[in-house]
């Protein structure tokens, strides 16, 4: 059993601009009690430039077919396809690409769950090289955040701390 992935404190933190983190944190707090989700776009020289909020359609899918979609937006996310296609087009117009997928965990830690791994590992996942930022919201406050990215050699995800960088 593979289990969830925690932060590896041996790995160096990944710097993310404070303005980007503040926007993601605001989205996470506003979406509570449901998980938020979205994308961060950038380029090689600055991978975390623009935050694009996406709608979490998990509750909608659950309401349509609870048997096929037993979770709702309180403990899962399903990113709205039109939102992420629009984000991808807008990024390309700026000479950027999607570099990071983000979502929140409500009343839970900043780890990469098995469901998160399944989502990121789908054969048709539109952003296979993207990092994954997970934000923990407890009691209405952001209490933790971590980035998970695929190790080039092993292909497995590794969790790293986030360092607040300059905007």
Per cent of the chain over pLDDT 70 is: 98
Which long-range CB contacts under 8 A does 147-150 form with residues at least 24 apart? 147/14, 147/16, 147/100, 148/5, 148/112, 148/116, 149/14
Residue 50 forms part of a structural domain: yes
In terms of Cα–Cα distance, which of 143, 137, 146, 102 is closest to 32?
A: 137
Distance between CA atoms of residues 120 and 149, nearest Å: 10
87 or 155, which is more confident: 87
- Residue range 33-92, pLDDT digits in tens: 999 999 999 999 999 999 999 999 999 999 999 999 999 999 999 999 999 999 999 999
Q: Give pLDDT, residue 58.
A: 94
The torsion defined by the Cα of 92, 93, 96 and 102, in degrees rounded to 10, comes to -70
Q: Is the pTM of this model over 0.75?
A: yes
Whether residue 167 has pLDDT greater than 70: no
Using pLDDT thresholds of 50, 70 and 90, give the confidence band for residue 1: very low
Answer whether residue 4 is part of any domain: no
Q: The domain spanning residue 60 has which CATH number?
A: 3.40.140.10
> Residue 3: inside a domain, yes or no?
no
Find the mean pLDDT for residues 146-163.
Answer: 91
**Residue 91: which domain range?**
14-165
Residue 73 lies inside a defined structural domain of this protein? yes
Residue 78 within a domain: yes
Query: Is 121 a domain residue?
Result: yes
Count of the separate structural domains present in the chain: 1
The confidence score (pLDDT) of residue 165 equals: 76
pLDDT tens, position by position, 82-132: 999 999 999 999 999 999 999 999 999 999 999 899 888 888 888 989 999
153 assigned to some structural domain:
yes
8 located within any domain: no
- Region of 95 on the Ramachandran plot (φ > 0 left; ψ -120 to 50 alpha; else beta): left
């Amino acid at each position: 059993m593979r289990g969830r992935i925690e932060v590896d404190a041996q790995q160096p933190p990944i710097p993310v601009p404070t303005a980007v983190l503040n926007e993601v944190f605001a989205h996470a707090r506003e979406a509570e009690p449901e998980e938020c989700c979205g994308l961060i776009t950038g380029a090689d020289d600055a991978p975390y430039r623009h935050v694009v909020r996406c709608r979490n359609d998990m509750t909608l899918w659950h309401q349509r077919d609870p048997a096929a979609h037993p979770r709702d937006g309180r403990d899962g996310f399903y990113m709205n396809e039109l939102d992420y296609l629009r984000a991808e087009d807008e990024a390309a117009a700026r000479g950027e690409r999607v570099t990071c997928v983000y979502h929140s965990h409500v009343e839970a830690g900043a780890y990469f769950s098995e469901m998160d791994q399944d989502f990121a590992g789908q054969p048709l996942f539109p952003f296979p090289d993207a990092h994954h930022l997970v934000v923990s919201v407890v009691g209405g406050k952001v209490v933790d955040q971590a980035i998970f990215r695929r190790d080039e050699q092993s292909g497995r995800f590794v969790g790293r701390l986030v360092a607040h960088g300059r905007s």
